[in-house]
């Protein structure tokens, strides 16, 4: 049993999992320095148990990492290795959704990735034909949702059936499901922060404003929780700002690392890394490569891009290229301070500052709260 629990609970707790896409752990750790007005998150941090950062798995992008949180295995094992893999049948291992069903518990999801046709009692899956930032078209979601649930939410909240499902309407769906359906387990995926960070970079004034609005929404969820319920706050990846792209003159190049296949390539990349203008940053330790790329051929050496750089896989006509987005993720998981969030709050959970953890460890903690 996890040490963060004060005592064995007499009854199974309802659990609500709130995922704030792109919530870098520095937003919580450095809240004072950033001047963030997030009273609800500050309360959860003070009263709950939260980790000093969460290390992701390859690739550190939304759908693979959300699936890892509900399986406890890396993307290479569970099979979701890119975004927009809609259907639950693509997941190669059992998930927490399966365990809930086997335990005869009810579940609900609001735009959680890879939940089309999932064994969820009340389901509004993440699926879209069109997008507008973090918003997804309601028409596509309605086609794949549990029968009747969209109409029920719309009857309760007349403003719900707008064209775009954004974090405002995700909140309304969450409040409806908590208040009317009383699921044993509910997971909601908020997306607006991630979208803003891609457009204006993390920790920008606009991104901080979105987080402050998200804080208000989390406060409404906390206020709606039934007596005895617990809440888990999670995120899928950290975020970094990007100003320039560069194409290393040698090696095999991806946007987030460059590898050397032989000693001569390694020596040239090492030489290039000495000049900051080349945008080559930390050399990835061989132990990290084996940890995050098991079963994959190990290069002679590998490097990450330097801060505020990304690698261009294709040669550039000029020394530097313009990034597609000025805020990004997908980086090598071991990159220092590139971390996501995990926090638990509720009855029986002791206030604690937990050490840095792996995203692989989240599953066991959620499963303990949801099932034991």
Residue 214 has pLDDT above 80, yes or no: yes
Q: Which pLDDT band holds residue 13 (cuts at 50, 70, 90)?
A: confident
Asked if 109 and 137 sit in the same domain, the reply is yes
Alpha-carbon distance of 240 to 256, in angstroms, equals: 12
Count of CB atoms situated within 10 Å of the CB of 205: 8
Asked if 111 and 212 sit in the same domain, the reply is yes
Asked if 318 and 177 sit in the same domain, the reply is no
In the predicted model, what is the mean pLDDT of residues 254-277?
A: 98
Query: For residue 9, is it within any domain?
Result: no
Domain span at residue 48? 15-239+335-371
pLDDT at 79: 97
Q: What angle do CA 334, 336, 337 make, to 5 degrees?
A: 115
Residue 5 has pLDDT above 70, yes or no: no
The H or E element that residue 18 is part of is strand 15-20
Asked if 145 and 287 sit in the same domain, the reply is no
Asked if 231 and 103 sit in the same domain, the reply is yes
Query: For residue 358, is it within any domain?
Result: yes
pLDDT at 7: 36
Tokens of 76: 């290479």
Alpha-carbon distance of 159 to 209, in angstroms, equals: 23
pLDDT at 11: 52
The H or E element that residue 66 is part of is helix 62-69
Query: For residue 10, is it within any domain?
Result: no
Asked if 284 and 195 sit in the same domain, the reply is no
Residue 137 has pLDDT above 50, yes or no: yes
Asked if 202 and 93 sit in the same domain, the reply is yes
Burial of 297: CB neighbours in 10 Å, binned 0-12, 13-18, 19+: exposed
Alpha-carbon distance of 204 to 175, in angstroms, equals: 29
Alpha-carbon distance of 289 to 301, in angstroms, equals: 9
Handedness of CA 238, 47, 220, 8 (dihedral sign): positive
In the predicted model, what is the mean pLDDT of residues 344-350?
A: 96
Which residues of 325-364 form beta strands (DSSP E)? Answer: 327-328, 342-345, 352-354, 357-358
* Residues 174 and 149 sit within 8 Å (Cβ to Cβ): no
Please state the domain count of the chain: 2
Residue 10 has pLDDT above 60, yes or no: no
Asked if 141 and 223 sit in the same domain, the reply is yes
* Residues 361 and 354 sit within 8 Å (Cβ to Cβ): no
Tokens of 136: 């997804």
pTM, full prediction: 0.95
Please provide the distance, in angstroms rounded to a whole number, between the alpha carbons at the two ends of the chain: 9
Q: What angle do CA 76, 79, 83 make, to 5 degrees?
A: 100
Query: For residue 2, is it within any domain?
Result: no
Query: For residue 208, is it within any domain?
Result: yes
Instruction: Write down the mean pLDDT value for the chain.
Output: 96
Asked if 140 and 155 sit in the same domain, the reply is yes
Tokens of 38: 């997030």
pLDDT at 6: 39
Residue 1 has pLDDT above 60, yes or no: no
Query: For residue 323, is it within any domain?
Result: yes
Query: For residue 121, is it within any domain?
Result: yes
Tokens of 256: 């987030």
The answer for residues whose C-beta is within 8 angstroms of residue 74's C-beta and 6 or more apart is 57, 58, 68, 360
DSSP notation for 169-188: HHHHHHHHIIIII--SEEEE
Q: Which pLDDT band holds residue 368 (cuts at 50, 70, 90)?
A: very high
The string of pLDDT tens digits covering residues 282-334 is: 999 999 999 999 988 999 999 999 999 999 999 999 999 999 999 999 999 99
* Residues 294 and 286 sit within 8 Å (Cβ to Cβ): no
Nearest to 304 by CA among 357, 253, 262, 339: 253
Query: For residue 5, is it within any domain?
Result: no
pLDDT at 3: 42
The answer for residues whose C-beta is within 8 angstroms of residue 227's C-beta and 6 or more apart is none
Which residues share a beta bridge with 312? none
Asked if 85 and 103 sit in the same domain, the reply is yes
Tokens of 265: 């390539």
Asked if 288 and 219 sit in the same domain, the reply is no
Which residues share a beta bridge with 328? 240
Alpha-carbon distance of 109 to 86, in angstroms, equals: 14
Asked if 225 and 355 sit in the same domain, the reply is yes
The H or E element that residue 231 is part of is strand 230-234
In the predicted model, what is the mean pLDDT of residues 164-171?
A: 98
For residue 85, what is the domain's CATH number?
A: 3.40.720.10
The answer for residues whose C-beta is within 8 angstroms of residue 314's C-beta and 6 or more apart is 247
């Amino acid at each position: 049993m996890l040490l963060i629990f004060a005592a064995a609970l007499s009854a199974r707790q309802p659990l609500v999992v709130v995922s704030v896409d792109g919530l870098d752990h520095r937003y919580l750790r450095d809240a004072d320095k950033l001047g963030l007005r997030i009273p609800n998150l500050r309360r959860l941090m003070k009263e709950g148990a939260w980790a000093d950062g969460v290390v992701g798995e390859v690739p550190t992008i939304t759908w693979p990492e959300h699936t890892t949180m509900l399986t406890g295995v890396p993307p290479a094992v569970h099979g979701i290795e890119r975004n927009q893999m809609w259907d639950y049948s693509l997941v190669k291992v059992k998930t927490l959704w399966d365990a809930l069903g086997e335990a005869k518990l009810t579940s609900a999801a609001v735009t959680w990735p890879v939940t089309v046709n999932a064994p969820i009692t009340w389901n509004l899956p993440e699926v879209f034909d069109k997008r507008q930032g973090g918003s997804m078209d309601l028409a596509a979601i309605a086609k794949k949702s549990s029968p009747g649930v969209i109409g029920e939410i719309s009857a309760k909240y007349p403003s719900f059936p707008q064209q775009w499902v954004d974090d405002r309407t995700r909140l309304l769906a969450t409040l409806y499901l908590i208040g009317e359906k009383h699921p044993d387990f509910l997971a909601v995926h908020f997306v607006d922060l991630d979208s803003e960070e891609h457009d204006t970079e993390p920790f920008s004034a606009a991104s901080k404003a979105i987080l402050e609005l998200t804080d208000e929404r989390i406060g409404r969820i906390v206020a709606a929780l039934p007596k005895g319920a617990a809440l888990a706050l999670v995120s899928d990846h950290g975020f970094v700002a990007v100003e320039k792209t560069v194409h290393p003159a040698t090696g095999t190049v991806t946007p987030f690392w460059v590898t050397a296949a032989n000693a001569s390539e390694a020596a040239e990349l090492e030489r290039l890394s000495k000049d900051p203008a080349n945008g080559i940053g930390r050399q990835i330790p061989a132990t990290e490569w084996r940890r995050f790329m098991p079963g994959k051929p190990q290069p002679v050496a590998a490097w990450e891009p330097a801060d505020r750089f990304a690698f261009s896989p294709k040669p550039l006509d000029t020394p530097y290229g313009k990034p597609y987005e000025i805020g990004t993720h997908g980086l090598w998981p071991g990159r220092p301070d590139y971390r996501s969030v995990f926090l638990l709050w509720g009855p029986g959970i002791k206030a604690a500052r937990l050490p840095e953890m792996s995203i692989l460890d989240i599953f066991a903690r959620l499963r303990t709260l949801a099932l034991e």
